Amino acid sequence: MRQDFAQLHDRISDENYTLTRNDYAKLLVGSMLAVNHIQDRIKRDEKAVEGYNLTVIPRLQRIMSETTNDAEADALAKILLND
């Protein structure tokens, strides 16, 4: 399949070549595979963002609000916690 797409790329690059119905079918399949891959990646990224928003960030904010022994951390906490 990879070779088919490489050959298709070469044919598309040739200005004198007219795409066939089979070429369009290959482009359609390739586009559908690309969309599925992108959607899967988006789902993984959304889960990562959700994890940060639900666990990591709240925990770090809590730690920052409870820790008072570092002036630099206190200043950062005020900015992050909107104090």
Is the pLDDT assigned to residue 48 strictly greater than 70? Answer: yes
Question: If you write DSSP's letter for every residue of 26-58 in order, what string do you get?
Answer: HHHHHHHHHHHHHHHHHHHHHHHHHHIIIIIHH
* Domain assignments of the chain as residue spans, ordered by start: 2-80
Both tokens assigned to 33:
């595979």
Q: Average pLDDT of the chain?
A: 84
Share of the chain above pLDDT 70, in %: 93
- How far apart CA 76 and CA 44 sit, in angstroms, is 30
- The pLDDT tens digits for 50-76 are 999 999 999 888 887 776 677 777 777
pLDDT of residue 41: 97
Q: State the pTM of this model.
A: 0.59
